[in-house]
C-alpha cells in the first residue's frame, strides 16, 4: 500500500530547515491524498463498488498487512501520514550539538532537511532565546543528526540541502583546497546515500563521489511561471543575459526554453579582493556580447550574497539601453546590507523584479519588498522525495522543458 501509506518514509527537519521541511510535508500529504483518491475511484469503477466501500476495502487491505495490532483512525477515509519524525536538538554551552530522535526510525527511508544558510534565531532544547548559527554550526548539527539516524537503524539516509555548502570552492586558483568535494566525501563516508540540492554552483562537484548520488534540481519552471504572471513571455521582446561565463549553461537553458536570444556579460575579476558588501566588487572590467537595447533582459544566477556583482551588471546593462531587467535567483541569501543596496538600485531604476525561491530562509523583510517575487519550490522537492522513496525515475522532474512549453502554449491560446 506504499502508493497511499508510505509507512517507511520519514522526514527529519534540522532547526535551520524546519520551515522548508514543513512546506515539503504539506505537499507530500497532498500528493498521497490524491493518489489514494485516484486509486479508490479506479477500484470502485473496476469492481462496481461505491466510493465509500472502495475506501473501506483499501484501508482494510492496509490494516491486514500492517504489523500494528490496533488500527489508527477509522476505515471510512484516508489516513494522512504525518511523515515528520520528532527530534530534540540541543546546543551546549561549549558549542557542541546533540540530536535525539524521539520515534523509531529503524528500517525507514529518512530524508534530513537542512538549510545551512539560515541566519535566523533558531530554537534549541533548554534555550529560551535560541541561537543564531553559522554555516559551520549548521553543518556540524547536520553531522550529528546523520549519525543519530544511522545509529538508530535507518535503512537509508538522504540529505535535502537546497544550498550546498562551500559550493564556490570547487576549483583551485592557487594554493587552496577543493572543499566542496571534500565535504561531500565526508557525507559519503558517514553513510549518506544521496544528496538533493538546488541549482548547484558547479557541475564539477557531482563528479567527485564514488557511491553517493547527487540530485541537482532546477527551479526553471517555477521561476518562469512566476515571471509569466507579470510579463507575457510569448509577446515580450526579451533577451536572456548570462551574468558571467560560469552561468552560461543555466541561461542557455532558459533561452532555449523561451526561444529567445542569449547574450553574455564577460567580466574580468581580481580574485585577490574579497567582497563584503554590495558596494564592493572584485570586477575589474566588463563587456557585453549581444544586444539589449530597448529589450527586456532576463538574468538567471544560482545564488545572491551581497549582490554587488549583480548590481554592477544591471547598471552596465541599463547603460547599454535595456528597457526592463528581471533577475532570477535560485538561492536568494541577501547577506549583509544587500536588501538596502537593492532598495537603492530599484529606486535608481536599475531593475524591475528579482525572483527568488523559498528553498532557503531569506530575510523576512525581503518578503515586504514590491520588487521581490517568491517562487515556491516545495512541491518540486516533495515530488523528488516521493519518487526516490518509491524508486521511480527523476527524469520528468530534471527536464522542465515540456512543462515550460505547455505553459507557453496555454498563453498563446
Distance CA 310, CA 409 (A): 32
Residues whose CB falls within 8 Å of the CB of residue 136, separated by 6 or more in sequence, listed in order: none
Q: How much is the pLDDT for 166?
A: 92
Domain membership of residue 29 (yes or no) is no
Q: How much is the pLDDT for 5?
A: 63
Domain count, the chain: 1
- Higher-confidence residue of 137 and 409: namely 137
- pLDDT at 281 > cutoff 80: no
Q: How much is the pLDDT for 272?
A: 59
Domain membership of residue 145 (yes or no) is no
**Site of grid cell 594554493:** 175
Q: How much is the pLDDT for 31?
A: 94
- pLDDT at 286 > cutoff 80: no
Domain that holds residue 301: 220-376+400-412
Binned at pLDDT 50, 70 and 90, residue 278 comes out as very low
The percent of residues above 90 in pLDDT, for the chain, comes to: 61
Domain membership of residue 312 (yes or no) is yes
Binned at pLDDT 50, 70 and 90, residue 279 comes out as low
Q: How much is the pLDDT for 362?
A: 87
Q: How much is the pLDDT for 1?
A: 39
pLDDT tens-digit series, residues 11-45: 999 999 999 999 999 999 999 999 989 989 998 99
- pLDDT at 81 > cutoff 90: no
Distance CA 149, CA 101 (A): 7
Distance CA 385, CA 21 (A): 11
CB 181 within 8 A of CB 170: yes
Question: Out of 72-81, 90-99, 304-313, 394-403, which region has the weakest mean confidence (pLDDT)?
Answer: 72-81
Instruction: Label residue 86 exposed, middle or buried (CB < 10 Å: 0-12, 13-18, 19+).
Output: exposed
For the residues 145-163, what does the mean pLDDT come to? Answer: 97
Q: How much is the pLDDT for 270?
A: 61
For the residues 349-363, what does the mean pLDDT come to? Answer: 94
- The CATH number for 333's domain is 3.40.50.2020
Binned at pLDDT 50, 70 and 90, residue 285 comes out as low
Q: Please state the pTM of the whole predicted model.
A: 0.90
362's grid cell: 531569506
Q: How much is the pLDDT for 60?
A: 85
Domain membership of residue 20 (yes or no) is no
Residues whose CB falls within 8 Å of the CB of residue 84, separated by 6 or more in sequence, listed in order: 10, 11, 12, 13, 21, 22, 25
Binned at pLDDT 50, 70 and 90, residue 269 comes out as low
- pLDDT at 67 > cutoff 80: no
Domain membership of residue 165 (yes or no) is no
Q: How much is the pLDDT for 413?
A: 59
The percent of residues above 70 in pLDDT, for the chain, comes to: 92
Amino acid at each position: 500500500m506504499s502508493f497511499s501509506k508510505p509507512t517507511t518514509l520519514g522526514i527529519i527537519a534540522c532547526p535551520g530547515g524546519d520551515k522548508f521541511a514543513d512546506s515539503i510535508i504539506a505537499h507530500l500529504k497532498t500528493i498521497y491524498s490524491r493518489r489514494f483518491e485516484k486509486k479508490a475511484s479506479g477500484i470502485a469503477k473496476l469492481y462496481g463498488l461505491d466510493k465509500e466501500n472502495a475506501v473501506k476495502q483499501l484501508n482494510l487491505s492496509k490494516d491486514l498487512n500492517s504489523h500494528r495490532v490496533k488500527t489508527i483512525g477509522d476505515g471510512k477515509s484516508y489516513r494522512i501520514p504525518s511523515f515528520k519524525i520528532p527530534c530534540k536538538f540541543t546546543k551546549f554551552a561549549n558549542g557542541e550539538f546533540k540530536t535525539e530522535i524521539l520515534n523509531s526510525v529503524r528500517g525507514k527511508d529518512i530524508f534530513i532537511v537542512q538549510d545551512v544558510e539560515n541566519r535566523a534565531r533558531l530554537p534549541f532544547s533548554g534555550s529560551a532565546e535560541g541561537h543564531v548559527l553559522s554555516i559551520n554550526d549548521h553543518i556540524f548539527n547536520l553531522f550529528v543528526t546523520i549519525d543519530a539516524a544511522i545509529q538508530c537503524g535507518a535503512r537509508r539516509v538522504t540529505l535535502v540541502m537546497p544550498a550546498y555548502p562551500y559550493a564556490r570552492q570547487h576549483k583551485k586558483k592557487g594554493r587552496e583546497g577543493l572543499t566542496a568535494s571534500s565535504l561531500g566525501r565526508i557525507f559519503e563516508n558517514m553513510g549518506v546515500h544521496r544528496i538533493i540540492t538546488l541549482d548547484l554552483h558547479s557541475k564539477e562537484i557531482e563528479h567527485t563521489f564514488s557511491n553517493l548520488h547527487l540530485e541537482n534540481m532546477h527551479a526553471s519552471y517555477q521561476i518562469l511561471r512566476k515571471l509569466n504572471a507579470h510579463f507575457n513571455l510569448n509577446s515580450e521582446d526579451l533577451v536572456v543575459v548570462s551574468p558571467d561565463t560560469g552561468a552560461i549553461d543555466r541561461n542557455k537553458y532558459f533561452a532555449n526554453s523561451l526561444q529567445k536570444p542569449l547574450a553574455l556579460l564577460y567580466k574580468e575579476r581580481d580574485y585577490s579582493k574579497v567582497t563584503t558588501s554590495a558596494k564592493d566588487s572584485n570586477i575589474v572590467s566588463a563587456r557585453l556580447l549581444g544586444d539589449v537595447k530597448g529589450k527586456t533582459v532576463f538574468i538567471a544566477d544560482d545564488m545572491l550574497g551581497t549582490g554587488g556583482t549583480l548590481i554592477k551588471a544591471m547598471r552596465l546593462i541599463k547603460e547599454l539601453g535595456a528597457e526592463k531587467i528581471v533577475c532570477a535567483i535560485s538561492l536568494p541569501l541577501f547577506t549583509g546590507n544587500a536588501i538596502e543596496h537593492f532598495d537603492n538600485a530599484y529606486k535608481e531604476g536599475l531593475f524591475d523584479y528579482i525572483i527568488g525561491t523559498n528553498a532557503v530562509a531569506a530575510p523576512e523583510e525581503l518578503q515586504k519588498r514590491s520588487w521581490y517575487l517568491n517562487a515556491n519550490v516545495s512541491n518540486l522537492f516533495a515530488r523528488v522525495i516521493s519518487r526516490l522513496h518509491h524508486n521511480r525515475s527523476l527524469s520528468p522532474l530534471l527536464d522542465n522543458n515540456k512543462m515550460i512549453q505547455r505553459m507557453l502554449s496555454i498563453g498563446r491560446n
